[in-house]
A and B are shown apart, each in its own frame.
Chain A
């Protein structure tokens, strides 16, 4: 340890690289954990002690079902629920989950309701009598300065509602307090009014034994389902699993780059102390003790780095939590995260990964330390000799790893974790090729540069001569730059694909929807608005969309998009179709459906001729699949059907959004304004084609913000790696540079030599990273994304990325030479000193 303090720079670099790697992992873990926990807590609060739920179609179920259950069946352990989402305008336009319950039936189900009994009596009285009365969490009320009696505006779909706060939900402890964030409690009648569900319920909660539940299920009408209450929270967890897994994998990639760096640093510290170890050996210290010493040192520094990384990770976590929550809200469902969880598991994971990486990286150098001969001579070249002998064996091992990784990806097709593991293993395999390829490239460079003079030849030779140093730096840089290329190409391809898809799908000129609407959220707009839009002068046609979630007997919750179509879609939109788009639409009008690609992938539908069974209001019905379409709006997948067909099977007159086509010759912007004017008083967003397209891409960019940020972390870590490797190299070479200076090399020549060396290293890394990055992109696009999300992405090669990568590598490497060279400039004294003694 004392030794570590004597090399503050290297020690610092090691600690920083561990810290950065751990910070990224911790930040991502925190974000995932916080979002999941916030969601689990609120689900728990909402589901309460219910064991089962009775659910109906998109429009809920009839109140009479509940009455019959209680009165005719005499089943008393049941509670009706009407729930929905709205935008609380005064609370920072936060989305709130409104739950309407029957206070008399509630007690056995939800604990938070008990706590309101401690609220003042008049609050409870108000709860029953005042229209629009709601209870909200005391914490969020305090945050927004809401008092009892305050009126709040709630936007539900296209309509504006008035709510009155009549009391606060007080929770007995902090955990359930958090669960109440973003939750409004009201009575059944008020909720029915809010969500236009007069006479209907969202669901009925039950506390029942398995056999009792079965008995109830048997008596239910065919359009209703009875399912265990846990099912809902499980599916919700699965929905985000792929997204969270991807983030975790990318954070581990940053740690992987960090591990190279640690290896580098520990190796350097070992080589520098070979003499010391040699003397220790000659004094009777065993090899095992030296091995232990080196590992111990590395573990201690790793722990220090991990501790710093935890701190940094928590700081970063605030941002990542926000980004992750935003994405989950954009793409999946509502989740409010107001507090960040740093769980023990996260802390332990971070520390274990930090120390683990430090230990793993130290094993090889520690083994090297035990081989220090018991004579006090520094024989760098004998070490290099051994490394050079290892090169073919490493390359062979690399071939095996790449093959193994590829096999893992190819043969275990169902597991995304296995695919990522394959990717990592393959990447490490490629890393093992680095020494061999470096040797080859440097031989070429020596020939090419040799003509230009000795400096060139020497530079190329030094890179191979110090392979144990340079190969690691090149590998670290290569991995980081490949990750950058891979991720950039993946995102660019994805973005191009989505942009192209938006062009094909967004055919209308003006889009009208409630502000809450996203591809994955069911919101309701008054059907009358469609007529009003149609009547606006300049509007030629409208398309009407209804997005709902329905139950499917074998598939769980399924998103259904019911549409009217004014213009045929492009044939390119379909991955498979029975005929032309026109014929497909005809089949759809006749009762067939189109499923999106992720839907087909997730549910393993056959490539053609499949069918989907959905629970309609008339009981289960099987719809033939007429086509499979590309779609990037939902990774869960969507079933598209005709609105006419939908209304035949479901008793649901509502609509979700409207698209308008402007008649030829009309001014699009003026029509847009006219539509806006016609809809005044309704809570809707009117957007032009381009605005909607841009909004979609904003969501896209937000989704990849973390991934995009992570690649820069990898580059930073790699940059530190190159700096430390170059520094190590130059420190070891002080003496050599002294000799060169004594032999008449000018400072300029020494600079050129050093820059040439690091430049060669950077160029090698850059060259290697091009095919590697491309392969990485291909795996991300064709394997990981497809398996995680079910999307076909069309490869967009993004040619500028490769030049950027090369420039980035060379620049990083050149920059890395500056510090050691500046040291050298100040050290002409040191040079003579270095020459005078061994």
Chain B
């Protein structure tokens, strides 16, 4: 039984929002640990706090209480700047609405993350082309994003998330804006690329097809994170 080494530890994390004089608890004492290279799916009703949790993991936001550990670092104690620098090297983010930079070409969108983490231009460029080839869009490298279909844009976003070679990929409903077939293709690609490269992948999704690809499935319900399925490695 080779239990994977723990990459992420969520320790007693709560997130509350103040709404007028009422307090709204979105996450209540969430506890979880994800192993390196694991694929995790997080499901839950709309408004259950999935995006909130993902933003906390990405260091885009801070928990009201508790700690988030990634590798050996407690990122919830980092300053804003330190979290940004950490994110740059350790996390790739994929959004529901693709969020490519419209003024940059496809290639530049992808190379962005590598350059931000300080890759040398030739290496960054080679990595970019490798990934664009992997997502099947190398021939569109000079195009601007708005010329691409939704599925194509999301493939560019996957390449971008992987480009700086971060150990952790976070994806917030990556197929939410795509039709079922395209979504399945994109998700298949993402899973395959992540597995090939041994990435830890955390996907927030509504789709059971998407969650079926994960090693473990968690459900967010009333602020708690519960493991609902566990696929044992074959």
User: Once the chains bind, are A739 and B95 in contact (CB under 8 Å)?
Assistant: yes
Quick one: which of B60, B85, B117, B144 contacts A381, CB cutoff 8 A? B144
Q: Determine the distance from Cα of A735 to Cα of B100 in the docked complex, in whole angstroms.
A: 10
Distance of B47 from chain A, by nearest CB (Å): 12
Listed A/B pairs (30) with beta-carbon separation below 8 Å: A381-B103, A381-B144, A381-B146, A458-B101, A458-B103, A458-B104, A458-B108, A461-B104, A464-B103, A465-B103, A735-B99, A736-B99, A736-B102, A740-B101, A740-B112, A742-B58, A742-B87, A742-B95, A743-B93, A743-B112, A743-B160, A744-B164, A745-B84, A745-B88, A746-B81, A829-B61, A832-B61, A835-B97, A835-B99, A836-B51
How big is chain B's contact interface, by range?
35 or more
Q: Report if A828 contacts B (CB, 8 A).
A: yes
**Given A746-B85, A835-B99, CB of A379 within 8 Å of CB of B160:** no
Q: Are B60 and A744 in contact (CB under 8 A)?
A: no
Q: A454-B108, A462-B103, A829-B61 are in contact. List 20 more A-B contacts (CB 8 A).
A: A381-B103, A381-B146, A454-B115, A458-B103, A458-B104, A461-B103, A739-B95, A739-B100, A743-B112, A743-B160, A744-B84, A744-B89, A744-B116, A747-B80, A747-B84, A748-B81, A828-B80, A831-B60, A836-B51, A836-B96
Is B6 in the interface zone, CB < 8 Å from A? no
- Assembly CA distance A382 to B95 (angstroms): 22
Q: Is A567 an interface residue (CB 8 A)?
A: no
Closest partner residue, chain B, to A742 (CB atom): B93
**Is A466 in contact with chain B by the CB < 8 A criterion?**
yes
Q: Which 6 A-B pairs have the closest CB atoms?
A: A744-B88, A465-B103, A381-B146, A454-B115, A739-B99, A381-B102
Query: Taking the nearest CB of chain A, how far is it from the CB of B165, in angstroms?
Result: 13
Are the CB atoms of A745 and B102 closer together than 8 Å?
no
Counting CB contacts under 8 A, is A74 at the interface? no
Residues on the B chain within 8 Å of A832, using CB: 55, 60-61
- Beta-carbon contact of A382 and B55 below 8 Å: no
Q: Which residues of A contact B80 (CB under 8 A)?
A: 747, 828
Residue of A nearest to B163 (CB): A743
Inter-chain contacts of B158 with A (CB < 8 A): none
A381 cross-chain contacts in B, Cβ below 8 A: 102-103, 144-146
Given contacts A465-B102, A836-B51, contact A741 B61 (CB under 8 A): no
Complex Cα distance, B100 from A487, in Å, reads 46
Chain B residues within 8 Å of A749, by CB: 116
Task: Please indicate the chain A residues that have their CB under 8 angstroms from the CB of B116 in the complex.
Answer: 454, 743-745, 749
Enumerate A421-444 residues with CB–CB distance to B below 8 Å.
Answer: none
Q: Select which of B96, B117, B146 is within 8 A of A382 by beta carbon.
A: B146
A672 to B143, CA, bound (A): 82
Q: Is B113 an interface residue (CB 8 A)?
A: yes
B103 touches A466 (CB 8 A): yes
A838 close to chain B: CB less than 8 A = yes
- Does any Cβ of A come within 8 Å of B36's Cβ? no
A831 to B101, CA, bound (A): 15
CA distance A457 to B104 in the complex (A): 9
- Chain A: CB-nearest residue to B61: A832
Q: Which residues of B contact A747 (CB under 8 A)?
A: 80-81, 84
Interface assignment of A453: CB less than 8 Å from any CB of chain B? yes
| B102 & A835 in contact (Cβ 8 Å cutoff) | no
Contact A736 B101 (CB under 8 A): yes
In the bound complex, CA of A168 to CA of B66 (Å): 92
Which of B58, B91, B97, B164 gathers the greatest number of chain A CB atoms within 10 Å? B97
A744 touches B144 (CB 8 A): no
B43: CB under 8 A from chain A? no
Point out the residues of chain B lying under 8 angstroms from A829, CB to CB. 61
> A823 to chain B: which residues have CB within 8 Å?
none
Q: Most B CB atoms within 10 A — which of A454, A458, A831?
A: A454
Which chain A residues numbered 364 to 390 have a C-beta less than 8 Å away from chain B? 379-382
In the complex, how many angstroms separate the beta carbon of B167 from the nearest chain A beta carbon?
14
* Bound-complex Cα distance A828 to B61 (A): 8
Residues of B within 8 A of A457 (CB): 108
Bitwise interface map of B from 48 to 63 toward A, beta carbon under 8 Å scored 1, else 0: 0001000100101100
Q: Name the residue of chain A whose CB is nearest to the CB of B177.
A: A838
B225 on the A face (CB < 8 A): no
Q: Is the CB of B113 within 8 A of A744?
A: yes
Cβ contact of B95, chosen from A380, A744, A748, A835, cutoff 8 A: A835
B172: chain A residues at CB < 8 Å are 836
Which residues in chain A, 453-494, are within 8 Å of chain B measured between CB atoms? 453-454, 457-458, 461-462, 464-466
> Is B156 part of the contact surface with A, judged by Cβ < 8 Å?
no
Contacts of B101 in A (CB 8 A): 458, 736, 739-740
Nearest Cβ distance between residue B139 and chain A, in whole angstroms?
A: 20
A454 to B108, CA, bound (A): 9
- Complex CA gap A741/B116 in Å reads 11
For the complex, give the distance between the alpha carbons of A477 and B61 in Å. Answer: 39
- Closest B residue by C-beta to A748: B81
Binary interface encoding of chain B residues 168-190 relative to chain A, with 1 for a CB under 8 A from any of its CBs, else 0 = 00001000000000000000000
Please report the C-alpha to C-alpha distance between residue A739 and residue B156 in the assembled complex, in whole angstroms. Answer: 14
Q: Is B159 an interface residue (CB 8 A)?
A: no
Q: How far is the CA of A744 from the CA of B61 in the complex (A)?
A: 13
Cα–Cα, bound, A613→B115 (Å): 83
How many angstroms from the CA of A738 to the CA of B172 in the assembled complex?
Answer: 15
Question: Which A residue's beta carbon lies closest to that of B95?
Answer: A835
Of all chain A residues, which has the CB nearest B84?
A: A746
**Nearest CB of B to A750, in Å:** 10
Asked if A744 meets B102 with Cβ closer than 8 Å, knowing A832-B55, A838-B97, the reply is: no
Give the chain B neighbours of A838 by CB distance below 8 A: 97
**B99-A744 in contact (CB<8A):** no
A515 to chain B, nearest CB (A): 67
Closest to A382 in B: B146
- CB–CB A379/B84 < 8 A: no
Chain A residues numbered 711-763 whose CB sits less than 8 Å from any CB in chain B: 735-736, 738-749
Q: Give Cα A736 to B115, complex, Å.
A: 17
Q: Which of A454, A457, A742 is most buried by chain B, counting CB atoms within 10 A of its CB?
A: A742
Q: Which residues of A contact B97 (CB under 8 A)?
A: 835, 837-838
A815 to chain B, nearest CB (A): 23
Task: Name the distance in Å between A800's Cβ and chain B's nearest Cβ.
Answer: 36
Whole-angstrom CA separation of A748 from B116 in the bound complex:
13
Any A CB within 8 A of the CB of B111 = yes
Q: For the complex, what is the distance from the CA of A741 to the CA of B61, rounded to whole Å?
A: 12
Which single residue of chain A is at the shortest CB-CB distance from B60? A832
A743 to B108, CA, bound (A): 13
